[in-house]
A and B are shown apart, each in its own frame.
Chain A
Amino acid sequence: MARTLFWRRVVQVALLVAAFIGLGVAKVGLITVVATLVPIGFLLFAFVWRKP
């Protein structure tokens, strides 16, 4: 369980950093950031690292 919680936290930090870089630094646009990262995050949390 601790391992799952650890990886969930890692993925959340990765999503946060990716959103920051995408929107703030790389300026790829809001629509691109949301359309890319929301499905990735949802699928990871729904199927790979589900809440214990």
Chain B
Amino acid sequence: MNDDVKLGGLAWHLAVLSLTAIGGGVVLVAPDVHHYVSVQNHWLTDEQFAAMYALAQAAPGPNLLFVTLIGWMIKGWLGAVVVTLAAIVPSSCLVLALGTVINRHGGGEGRWAGALRDALAPLAAGMLAGAAWTFLSVAGAGWRGIVLALAAAAAAYATKLNPLWLIALGALAGAIGLV
């Protein structure tokens, strides 16, 4: 546990991030959280962060709850509770408020909801692609990794193949040294 941690700052950072995670929360938020806790503040090492992220991904439940483990690692149970609430409460309130406003103005098929959906869909796709690009850069994947990622994205888009098969094939490609 780290005594130098400013829990309020971390909670505020997570609260703001949670409001902007459109389309794929954990994928979009993880690089920013990593930068904040590991690069900027040195509260966790890269290995600790990666371990917490992998553990949360493997565990059942919402993947965004990897922040709970990070809070627990750097500030114990208090940290776990505070960062979990910071990640969940603001975004839940936003959804509740937006849902109320949209229902008053034509519902999901109304003008405002349609405009919001039309704007958010391409943005979510673009941001996920950007996050994937960041992960590939950080991992030093090279052109083979980029080709593999593009092939996986194309397969996921064009087929109804279970993503677990794509993950397994990617792992196999890594295990035999293709990427």
Give the B-binding residues of A (Cβ under 8 A).
Answer: 8, 12-13, 15-25, 27, 29-31, 33-35, 37-38, 40-42, 44-46, 50-51
Q: Please give the distance in Å from A23's CB to the nearest CB on chain B.
A: 3
Q: Which residues of B contact A41 (CB under 8 A)?
A: 118-120, 122-123
How long is the Cα–Cα vector from A32 to B108 in the complex, in angstroms? 27
Report the number of A-B residue pairs with Cβ-Cβ less than 8 Å.
96
Listed A/B pairs (27) with beta-carbon separation below 8 Å = A8-B118, A12-B121, A16-B123, A18-B126, A20-B129, A20-B133, A23-B131, A23-B133, A27-B134, A30-B32, A30-B127, A31-B16, A31-B20, A33-B20, A33-B123, A34-B20, A37-B119, A38-B120, A40-B119, A41-B119, A41-B122, A41-B123, A42-B115, A45-B114, A45-B118, A45-B119, A51-B111
Give the A-binding residues of B (Cβ under 8 A).
Answer: 16-17, 20-22, 28-29, 32, 111-112, 114-116, 118-123, 125-127, 129-134
For B22, B28, B112, B126, which residue has the most chain A Cβ atoms within 10 angstroms? B126
How long is the Cα–Cα vector from A45 to B22 in the complex, in angstroms? 18
Residue of B nearest to A27 (CB): B134
Q: Which residues of B contact A8 (CB under 8 A)?
A: 118
Is the pair A17, B126 in contact by a Cβ cutoff of 8 Å?
yes
The contact of A42 among B16, B119, B126, B130, by CB within 8 Å, is B119
Q: Which residues of A contact B123 (CB under 8 A)?
A: 15-16, 19, 33-34, 37-38, 41
How long is the Cα–Cα vector from A46 to B16 in the complex, in angstroms? 25
How long is the Cα–Cα vector from A24 to B132 in the complex, in angstroms? 8
